[in-house]
Amino acid sequence: MEQMEVKLVFFISLFCLSAGTKAGLENLWDFVHQLKGRRLEMYSTQRNDPNFAEALSDISPWAHFGQISVRRAVLYVKEHAKSQKAKAGATAFIEEAVVRRELSDNFCFYQVHFISSRFI
């Protein structure tokens, strides 16, 4: 029953998001400027802490479905990171958005048995 409730909450939360480039860019703007830039500043140290949901970028759905490009998001974050803490957050964001993404793409590309059941 608990697993069903978790899936239901996830399913409902998907429909609370607005689709499209405009909504994705608004969310990116919120990440950089909301709370007077504190969200970007908190990203470097608190993004993995479940008590600080506001420290997340929340751009994954728009990036995943191609509504906004990761490159555009990285350039926007780099451009607007003014303080030292914000620059640290921007560095962490770039590492997560670009480096880890490339690592996973390369892993899948070079792993011979990635698509087969032998990989599991």
Q: What is the DSSP letter of 47?
A: T
CB atoms within 10 A of CB 32: 21
More confident residue, 44 or 3: 44
Task: Supply 14's token pair.
Answer: 């998907």
Average pLDDT over residues 28-33: 91
Instruction: Quote the pLDDT of residue 26.
Output: 92
Task: Supply 105's token pair.
Answer: 């793409």
- The domains of the chain are located at 18-109
Tokens 């350039």, located at residue? 75
Average pLDDT over residues 103-110: 85
> What percent of the chain clears pLDDT 90, i.e. is strictly above it?
29
The pTM score is 0.73
Task: Supply 24's token pair.
Answer: 């994705």
Q: Please state which CATH class domain 18-109 belongs to.
A: mainly alpha
